[in-house]
Amino acid sequence: MEHLELFFKSIFVDNMVFAYFLGMCSYLAVSKKVSTAVGLGAAVIFVLTVTVPLNWLLDQYILQEGALSWLGAEYAEYDLSFLSFILFIATIATMVQLVEIIVEKFSPSLYNSLGIFLPLIAVNCAILGGSLFMQSREIEGFSLALNYGFSSGIGWFLAIVAIAAIREKIRYSNVPAPLRGLGITFIITGLMAIGFMSFGGMLTGGDEEAPASEVRAAQIELPSGELEKENTASIEVVEVSEITQE
């Protein structure tokens, strides 16, 4: 149940692109054609699924306060969490390189379709963002971290494939000249994000008592001081649950 909830939450409610704008650079640059978008999306799913659990292990056994206690009692007080940026990004860059080499060796056809995107991915914010969110939300357990990496990858995949499909269609429409290309893509993404906000009620609608851990996670991820945001979000939730009741 916990797994299922995290799975759908990461895909729809906390969608990387629509809720946090992660990986926007490649999202905008590589979404001109559906086929390339599928390639990049698949590569992102793959790399996220590998790096998030790996960084979870790093976080649990090296970085967190007291994480080094497995080395001996005298190390129990170390808190290396300030090193997490540099370790996470090093893991990601290494993994991407490794994945590239392995894929090239064992599946040249996959490499040809995925290959050019792999170096791009090392600096894709969605990948580092996945690891950093995993850390700040204190995801418990290796399998949950694996699940989180995989499902946020799918969320990103859905987003880029959807926008690529829309951009292929919009080529035939009469967009005002200054908005063509980048401008209209931004606005469409905004509208899609509004659409995705309606998924916010998916996990709370009907089920009144949210588990304590989820409430805590929600508090962490909402930038504090944005009370209005929370209010409007809950209004949205109410509206959605009314609709489902009808």
Contacts with other proteins by CB under 8 A lie at 18-25, 28-29, 82-86, 89-90, 93, 119, 122-129, 132-133, 135-136, 171, 176-187, 189-191, 193-194, 197, 220-221, 223-226, 228-229, 231-233
CA–CA distance, 237 with 246 (Å, rounded to integer) = 14
Dmax (CA) for the chain in angstroms is 69
Taking the least distance from each CB to other proteins, the nearer of 23 and 201 is 23
Taking the least distance from each CB to other proteins, the nearer of 77 and 226 is 226
What letter represents residue 146's amino acid? L
Taking the least distance from each CB to other proteins, the nearer of 109 and 174 is 174
CB of 145 to other proteins, least distance (A): 16
CB of 60 to other proteins, least distance (A): 18
Taking the least distance from each CB to other proteins, the nearer of 69 and 214 is 214
The contacts of residue 129 (CB under 8 Å, 6+ apart) are: 16, 20, 22, 23
Q: Which of 18, 34, 62, 19 is nearest to 170 (CA)?
A: 34
CB of 109 to other proteins, least distance (A): 25
CA–CA distance, 143 with 121 (Å, rounded to integer) = 23
The contacts of residue 98 (CB under 8 Å, 6+ apart) are: none
Taking the least distance from each CB to other proteins, the nearer of 124 and 147 is 124
Q: Which residue pairs from 162-169 have beta carbons closer than 8 angstroms and sit at least 24 positions apart in sequence?
A: 162/192, 163/27, 163/31, 163/37, 163/188, 163/189, 163/192, 164/31, 164/32, 164/33, 164/34, 164/36, 164/37, 165/34, 167/31, 167/32, 168/32, 168/33, 168/34
Which residue bears the tokens 């929370």?
230
DSSP-assigned letter for residue 84: H
CB of 117 to other proteins, least distance (A): 14
Taking the least distance from each CB to other proteins, the nearer of 193 and 210 is 193
CB of 209 to other proteins, least distance (A): 26
CB of 35 to other proteins, least distance (A): 18
CB of 244 to other proteins, least distance (A): 21
Taking the least distance from each CB to other proteins, the nearer of 110 and 132 is 132
